[in-house]
């Protein structure tokens, strides 16, 4: 069946909430994707920073096949071995205390917000607490996650949302301090803002937030959904800053392509927040998803994925910086590790993305003027060179 016929079928049955590119992707191999017409694409989007191991990794594929043959779901009424193993590996990588597995990043945010509110309820003996979030942030599409997303465009059609949310300026500690009072139970932010335009947090901002939260007994929540799981050269981006959160959310690359998320609690939050009956999910922690999580951590260790990102980042950054010198429309590069953004001026980012796809490269946008590159963590120098060549032909 031709591509356009499949797209027509999709538009008849699938709710149109995405303006999808006119391509039907069918299979992947390594860091390349192939469409239904067998056209080949170098993938520097990775399913929006999800497919950290690329496609058809033999160990990952085998582990999922073996788990599917055993058990895919039993609910949270019972224990299962993959959940236990995955939980241990998340805590070993993060150095935190407890983990709750979810189905998505947005669900992880919801759980983190509930944990913070319950902590404050335990602390103060009453409800009615507020949360400080960041302008230009993005935390998800569910009502709670949308409530702390600092972009009015996303929020306005669905208001009223969750109350008690105040927005501060990212990387401006004074603006956070101005919003703090006795009602605040948490400060939530992305360690590196993704959808807002690839803005890394300033080290002094995170250090100041940690001190502020400690002084006021406020929980600090880091959203690591996009920037976590090795993308910046550490398992989690906050580890590169040396500033530990009280609660962390992760998803995307956590399962290497299988839908799974988690919120992870430090000792303080774990000891005095959610208890039996406070939170739940039917599918969270199911054996198939947790087998994926466990296997991703195993592959990261065996193949030294973190070290690979650290070693290759200077070459990626140097290669991207060379584009700035040759193309006046590229005004700046922002990012850390394999989470990079090129600021474009003078032509729509969407046009560059379309031309790149026509030339065999998948890239995506962040905000309105940033070309975002979040490739599989398994790319090599040859793939960076190929990407640069295609971008030069597409800008």
Q: Provide CB contacts within 8 A for 292, sequence distance 6+.
A: 60, 63, 64, 255, 256, 257, 258, 260
Work out the average pLDDT over 146-159.
96
Which residues make beta-bridge pairs with 28?
Answer: 33
Rounded mean pLDDT, 86-93: 98
For the cut 70, the answer to whether the pLDDT of residue 1 exceeds it is: no
CA 324 to chain centre: 26
User: What is the gyration radius of the CA atoms in the chain, in angstroms?
Assistant: 21
Average pLDDT of 91-113?
98
- First-to-last C-alpha distance (Å) of the chain: 32
Determine whether 138 is an active site residue. Answer: yes
- Among left, alpha and beta (phi > 0; psi -120 to 50; other), residue 242 is left
Q: Per residue in 174-192, is it b (16+ CB within 10 Å) or e — as a string?
A: ebbeeebeeebbbbbbbbb
Return d(Cα 341, Cα 262) in angstroms, integer: 26
pLDDT of the residue at 300: 98
Predicted confidence (pLDDT) per residue in 155-180, tens digit: 999 999 999 999 999 999 999 999 99
What structural domains and CATH numbers belong to the chain? 3-57+304-394 (3.90.1150.10), 71-303 (3.40.640.10)
Give the model confidence (pLDDT) of 224-278 as tens digits.
Answer: 999 999 999 999 999 999 999 999 999 999 999 999 999 999 999 999 999 999 9
SS3 content of the chain, % helix, strand, coil (to 5): 45, 20, 35
Element (H, E) at 145: helix 143-147
Residue 181: pLDDT band with limits 50, 70, 90: very high
Q: What is the mean pLDDT of residues 86-107?
A: 98
Q: Measuring CA to CA, how many Å separate 44 from each of 25, 29, 171?
A: 14, 14, 28
- The pLDDT mean for the chain works out to 97
Separation of alpha carbons 1 and 18, rounded Å = 22
User: Looking at residues 298-317, what average pLDDT do you find?
Assistant: 98
Provide the pLDDT for residue 237.
Answer: 98
User: 28-47, pLDDT tens digit by residue?
Assistant: 999 999 999 999 999 999 99
Task: Output the 3-class SS for 161-219.
Answer: CCCCEEEECCCCHHHHHCCCCCCEEEEEEECEECCCCCEECCHHHHHHHHHHHHHHCCE
With 90 as the cut, is the pLDDT of residue 137 above it?
yes
What is the rounded average pLDDT of the residues 103-109? 98
Catalytic-role residue among 117, 118, 252, 336: 252
Point out the catalytic residue in the list 43, 223, 234, 246: 223
Rounded to whole angstroms, how far apart are CA atoms 183 and 180?
8
pLDDT band at residue 3 using 50, 70 and 90 as cut-offs = confident
* Joined tokens for residue 179: 């919003």
Asked if the model's pLDDT at residue 2 lies above 90, the reply is no
How much is the pLDDT for 4? 87
Asked if 289 contacts 281 with a C-beta cutoff of 8 angstroms, the reply is no
Residues 6 or more apart whose CB falls under 8 angstroms from that of 165 comprise 130, 131, 132, 133, 147, 148
Query: Band of the pLDDT at 7, cuts 50, 70, 90?
Result: very high
Q: Point out the least confidently predicted range of 2-6, 70-74, 358-362.
A: 2-6
Residue 252: active-site member: yes
Active site annotation includes 223: yes
Chain-centre distance for alpha carbon 142: 15
């Amino acid at each position: 069946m031709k591509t356009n016929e499949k797209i027509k079928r999709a538009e008849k049955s699938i709710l149109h909430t995405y303006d999808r590119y006119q391509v039907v992707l069918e299979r992947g191999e390594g860091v390349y994707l192939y469409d239904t017409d067998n056209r080949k694409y170098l993938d520097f989007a990775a399913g929006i920073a999800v497919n950290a191991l690329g496609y058809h990794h033999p160990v990952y594929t085998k582990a999922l096949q073996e788990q599917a043959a055993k058990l895919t779901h039993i609910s949270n009424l019972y224990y299962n071995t993959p959940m236990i193993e995955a939980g241990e590996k998340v805590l070993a990588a993060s150095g935190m205390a407890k983990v709750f597995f979810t189905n998505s990043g947005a669900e992880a945010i919801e759980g983190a917000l509930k944990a913070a509110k319950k902590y404050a309820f335990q602390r103060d003996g009453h409800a009615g607490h507020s949360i400080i979030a960041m302008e230009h942030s993005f935390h998800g599409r569910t009502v709670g996650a949308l409530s702390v997303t600092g972009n009015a465009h996303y929020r306005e059609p669905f208001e009223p949302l969750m109350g008690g949310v105040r927005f501060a300026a990212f990387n401006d500690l004074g603006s956070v301090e101005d919003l703090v009072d006795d009602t605040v139970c948490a400060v939530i932010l992305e360690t590196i803002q993704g959808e807002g335009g690839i803005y890394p947090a300033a080290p002094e901002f995170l250090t100041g937030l940690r001190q502020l939260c400690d002084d006021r007994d406020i929980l600090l929540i880091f959203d690591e959904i996009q920037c976590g799981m090795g993308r910046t050269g550490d398992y989690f981006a906050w580890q590169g800053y040396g500033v530990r959160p009280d609660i962390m959310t992760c998803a995307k690359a956590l399962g290497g392509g299988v839908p799974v998320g988690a919120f992870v609690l430090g000792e303080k939050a774990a000891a005095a927040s959610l208890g039996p009956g406070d939170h739940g999910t039917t599918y969270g922690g199911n054996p198939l998803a947790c087998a994926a999580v466990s296997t991703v951590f195993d592959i990261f260790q065996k193949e030294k994925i973190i070290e690979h990102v650290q070693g290759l980042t200077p070459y990626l950054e140097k290669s991207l910086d060379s584009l700035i010198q040759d193309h006046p429309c590229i005004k700046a590069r922002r990012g850390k590790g394999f989470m990079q953004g090129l600021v474009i001026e003078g032509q729509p980012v969407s046009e560059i993305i379309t031309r790149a796809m026509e030339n065999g490269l998948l890239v995506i946008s962040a905000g309105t003027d940033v070309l975002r590159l979040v490739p599989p963590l398994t790319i090599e120098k040859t793939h960076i060179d190929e990407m640069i060549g295609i971008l030069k032909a597409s800008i």
